[in-house]
Amino acid sequence: MHDPEALRSQHAARFGAQPAIFAAPGRVNLIGEHTDYAEGFVMPAAIDFATLAAISPRQDGKIVLYSENYGEERIFEADALPAARNGHWSDYPLGVFAIFAGEGHRIPPLSLSLWGDVPPGSGLSSSAALEVATAVALQSLLGIQYPGPVLARLCQRSENEFVGSSCGIMDQFISANGARDHALLLDCRDLSYKLAPIPEDVALVIANTMVKHEVTGTEYTSRRAQVEEAAAVIARHRPEVRFLRDANPEDLQKWGSEMSPEALKRARHVITENIRTVAAAQALVQNDTRTLGRLMAEAHRSYSQDFEASCAEADTMVEIAQKLPGLIGARLTGGGFGGCTVNLVHADQAKPFAAALGEQYAQATGITPQIHICHASDGAHRIE
Ligand code: GLA
Q: pLDDT tens across 173-182, in order? A: 999 999 999 9
From atom 2 of ligand 1, which residue's Cα is the shortest distance away? 167
Question: What ligand 1 atom has the least distance to the C-alpha of 32?
Answer: 12
Residue 373: band (very low, low, confident or very high) from pLDDT cuts 50, 70, 90:
very high
The enclosing domain of 88 has a CATH number of 3.30.230.10
The pLDDT of residue 3 is above 80: yes
The candidate with the shortest Cα–Cα distance to 32, out of 269, 301, 274, 310, is: 274
* Per-residue pLDDT at 214: 61
Q: How far apart are CA 147 and CA 168, in angstroms?
A: 18
Q: What is the pTM of this model?
A: 0.97
Q: How far apart are CA 370 and CA 384, in angstroms?
A: 31
From atom 5 of ligand 1, which residue's Cα is the shortest distance away? 335
Please answer whether residues 114 and 23 qualify as being in contact, where contact means their C-beta atoms are separated by less than 8 angstroms: no
User: Does some domain include residue 328?
Assistant: no
Q: How far apart are CA 311 and CA 265, in angstroms?
A: 17
Please answer whether residues 331 and 315 qualify as being in contact, where contact means their C-beta atoms are separated by less than 8 angstroms: no
Based on DSSP, count helices (H) and strands (E) in the chain, helices before strands: 11, 12
Q: How far apart are CA 28 and CA 123, in angstroms?
A: 8
Burial category of 339 from C-beta neighbours within 10 Å (exposed 0-12, middle 13-18, buried 19 and up): buried
From atom 8 of ligand 1, which residue's Cα is the shortest distance away? 167
The DSSP annotation for 91-133 comes to: HHHHHHHHHHHHTTPPPPPEEEEEEE-SPTTSSS-HHHHHHHH
Please answer whether residues 53 and 113 qualify as being in contact, where contact means their C-beta atoms are separated by less than 8 angstroms: yes
* Per-residue pLDDT at 217: 72
Q: How far apart are CA 197 and CA 174, in angstroms?
A: 15
Q: What's the 63 CA to ligand 1 centre distance in angstroms?
A: 30
Q: What's the 215 CA to ligand 1 centre distance in angstroms?
A: 7
User: Does some domain include residue 31?
Assistant: yes
- Percent of the chain at pLDDT > 70 equals 99
Ligand 1, residues 41, 125, 167, 269: which to mutate, most atoms within 8 A of Cβ?
167
Instruction: Output the CA torsion 373→347→129→86 (10° steps).
Output: 40
Residue 268: band (very low, low, confident or very high) from pLDDT cuts 50, 70, 90:
very high
* Per-residue pLDDT at 83: 93
Question: What ligand 1 atom has the least distance to the C-alpha of 220?
Answer: 11
Q: How far apart are CA 343 and CA 272, in angstroms?
A: 21
The candidate with the shortest Cα–Cα distance to 23, out of 8, 42, 9, is: 8
Q: What's the 166 CA to ligand 1 centre distance in angstroms?
A: 9
Please answer whether residues 122 and 339 qualify as being in contact, where contact means their C-beta atoms are separated by less than 8 angstroms: yes
* Per-residue pLDDT at 2: 74
User: Does some domain include residue 205?
Assistant: no
Which tens digits make up the pLDDT trace of 309-349?
Answer: 999 999 999 999 999 999 999 999 999 999 999 999 999 99
* Per-residue pLDDT at 277: 98
Q: What's the 168 CA to ligand 1 centre distance in angstroms?
A: 6
The pLDDT of residue 1 is above 90: no
Q: Which runs of E-coded beta strand occur in the chain?
A: 20-31, 41-57, 62-67, 72-77, 110-116, 182-187, 192-197, 202-208, 327-332, 340-346, 370-374, 381-383
Question: What's the domain count of the chain?
Answer: 1
User: Does some domain include residue 237?
Assistant: no
* Per-residue pLDDT at 240: 98
Give the residue numbers marked as catalytic. 171
Q: How far apart are CA 141 and CA 57, in angstroms?
A: 7
Please answer whether residues 185 and 194 qualify as being in contact, where contact means their C-beta atoms are separated by less than 8 angstroms: yes
Q: How far apart are CA 18 and CA 20, in angstroms?
A: 7
* Per-residue pLDDT at 212: 87
**Averaged confidence pLDDT in the chain:** 97
Question: What residues contact 75, with CB distance under 8 A and at least 6 apart?
Answer: 62, 63, 64, 65
Please answer whether residues 289 and 347 qualify as being in contact, where contact means their C-beta atoms are separated by less than 8 angstroms: no
* Per-residue pLDDT at 129: 98
Q: How far apart are CA 118 and CA 27, in angstroms?
A: 9
The pLDDT of residue 216 is above 60: no
Residue 215: band (very low, low, confident or very high) from pLDDT cuts 50, 70, 90:
low
* Per-residue pLDDT at 193: 98
Question: What ligand 1 atom has the least distance to the C-alpha of 165?
Answer: 8
User: Does some domain include residue 313?
Assistant: no
Q: How far apart are CA 278 and CA 339, in angstroms?
A: 24
User: Does some domain include residue 347?
Assistant: no
Which residue segment(s) compose the domain that 146 sits in?
4-197
Q: How far apart are CA 131 and CA 50, in angstroms?
A: 11
User: Does some domain include residue 284?
Assistant: no
User: Does some domain include residue 377?
Assistant: no
Please answer whether residues 204 and 346 qualify as being in contact, where contact means their C-beta atoms are separated by less than 8 angstroms: no
* Per-residue pLDDT at 7: 97
**Whether residue 171 has its Cβ less than 6 Å from ligand 1:** yes
**Whether residue 159 has its Cβ less than 6 Å from ligand 1:** no
